[in-house]
Amino acid sequence: MRLSQYFLPVLREVPSEAEIASHKLMLRAGMIRQASAGIYTWLPLGFRVLKKVEGIVREEQDRSGAIELLMPTLQQAELWRESGRYDAYGPEMLRFKDRHEREMLYGPTNEELITQVFRGAAKSYRDLPRILYHIQWKFRDEIRPRFGVMRGREFLMKDAYSFDMSVEAARHSYNRMFVAYLRTFARMGLKSIPMVAETGPIGGDLSHEFIILADTGESQVFCHADLLDTPIPPADVDFGSDLTPHIAPWTRHYAATDDKHDEGRFAAEVPQNKRVSARGVEIGHIFFFGTKYSEPMGCRVQGPDGNMVSVQSGSYGIGVSRLPAAIIEASHDDAGIVWPVPVAPFEVGLVNLKPGDKAADRACEGLYARLEGAGVSVLLDDTQERPGGKFATMDLIGLPFQLIVGPKGLKGGEVEIKDRKSGARTTASPEAAVKRLVGEVRAQRILA
C-alpha cells in the first residue's frame, strides 16, 4: 500500500476524549473514530488489525475442532421469553419494535439463538459432541462506555457454545476451549492468565476469565508470578485426547480477580516474592452452565439407551474488538504503538525520505516489489512530508519494521532497517535488507 493513496488520518495531538494509552493511540494512529458514545468506526488501519486478530481467533477455534457459523445480530423477544431472560436481562439490552410492532432486540449474546438452532437439528447422541461458534457484532447498552473500543457498547465478539451428553464430556469441551484460548492470546503476543471466576448456580471449577496484566485494567487481580512464564500448549496438541496435562500447569497456582480473591489463601499458597498484585483486563471468558438453556428451551437428544436427555452446554467468549486495544496497552512506548508481527496492520513500513529523487524512488519501488513479492505486507511512505514527520508517523502507527531509504544512504549503497520494538537501527545493502526483513517477518509471524 502506498501512503499517498491510503486513508490514514493521524493526529498529532491527543483528542481530549481519550483517557488511556490505547484509546489515545488508536485515535492518533488513525485506527478508529467515535461514531457515538461507545460506538466506533474502524478506519482502514484499525480494520486491518481487527481482521488479523479475528483471523487468529478463527484459526485457533478451527484447530480446536469448533465449527463456525453465523447468527444474526437481531433477535426476537419471543425467543428470550422461552429462556426467561427477556425479563431478567436489564436495560443494557437494546429493545425495539419492527414495523409490525413485533418486539425485537439487538443481541447482547446468543445462547437462546444457538440453542434454538441446535435443538431443531440435533436429535441423537450421535450428533454430539459439538462446539459451534461465530464472530459477530453484539450490543450491550452499557451505562457508561469508556476507554474507546476497550469498553464500547457495540463490540465484535467470538462466542462459542458446546453441546455434550454429560457433565464429564462437557468438561472436555471446556478444556478444548481453555487450550484454544491459551494459544490464541499467545499468538497475539499477549501473556494471558486464566483466573478462577464466578460459576453462578452451577458451582464447580468450570469458569475462567482470561486476563492480561495492564496498568489501566478495570479490575485488580492476584496471581502467582510463575504463571506469566508457563508454556503454551503446542500447535499440534491432540484435541481429542485428555487435555488436562496442558491445563494443569495453568490451574495449579493461585490466580483470581478481586471479586474471587482470598487474601488468606493468597498468602498461604504463594511465596512472598512470587505474589503478583496488578491491574488486569479481561479478554476472554469460558463458562460451563449445564442445562440452563437446554432445559427450559427443550434442547434434548436421545441417548444410546433410548432416553431423552437435556444437553450439557457451556459458552466461551472472546472480546475480539477489545483485543487490539488490549494489545496496545501491553505493547506501546512514548512514541506510539509497537505491534507484534502477527497482528501488525502492515509488517514493514518503507520510508522514502525524498520522493522525487530518482535514486530513492527507484530503490523504493524495487524494495516494495520484492517485499510484497515475498508475501510481506508493506506500507510505502511516498508522501512529500519531511523526514521528521515520516519517522514520527511510522513510530506512532507502530509497524514492526521500518526500512528507511534516502539519497545519502543510497550513495553508499545502503538502506537502514529500524526495529520498532528495540529501536535498533542497522544499515545493509538493499538486497541484504530484503532478505533479513523477509526472514525476520516470517520468523515472528508465529509466536506460539
Partner RNA sequence: CGGGGCAUAGCUCAGCCUGGUAGAGCACCUGCUUUGGGAGCAGGGGGCCGGGGGUUCGAAUCCCUCUGCCCCGACCA
- Site membership for RNA, residue 429 (CB under 7 A): no
- Site membership for RNA, residue 381 (CB under 7 A): no
Q: Which is nearer to RNA, 38 or 189 (CB)?
A: 38
One character per residue 186-215, x = contact with RNA (rule: CB under 7 A): -----------------------x------
One character per residue 284-303, x = contact with RNA (rule: CB under 7 A): xx------------------
- Site membership for RNA, residue 151 (CB under 7 A): yes
Q: How far is residue 180's CA from residue 66's CA, in Å, rounded to a whole number? A: 10
Q: How far is residue 443's CA from residue 48's CA, in Å, rounded to a whole number? A: 20
Q: How far is residue 410's CA from residue 428's CA, in Å, rounded to a whole number? A: 10
Q: Which is nearer to RNA, 202 or 392 (CB)?
A: 392
Stretch near RNA under the rule CB under 7 A, chosen from 97-105, 150-158, 164-172, 301-309? 150-158
Stretch near RNA under the rule CB under 7 A, chosen from 129-137, 167-175, 226-234, 392-400? 392-400
Among 129, 290, 406, 430, the residue binding RNA under the rule CB under 7 A is 406
Among 2, 19, 103, 274, the residue binding RNA under the rule CB under 7 A is 19
- Site membership for RNA, residue 394 (CB under 7 A): yes
- Site membership for RNA, residue 146 (CB under 7 A): yes
Q: Which among 352, 377, 348, 374 has a CA at the least distance from the CA of 363?
A: 352
Within 354-373, the residues that bind RNA by CB under 7 A are 354
Least distance in Å: CB of 186 to RNA? 17
The residue ranges that bind RNA (CB under 7 A) are 10-17, 19, 34, 36-38, 92, 140, 142-147, 149-153, 155, 157, 209, 218-219, 282-285, 317-319, 321-322, 335, 353-354, 385-389, 391-396, 402, 404-410, 416, 418, 425
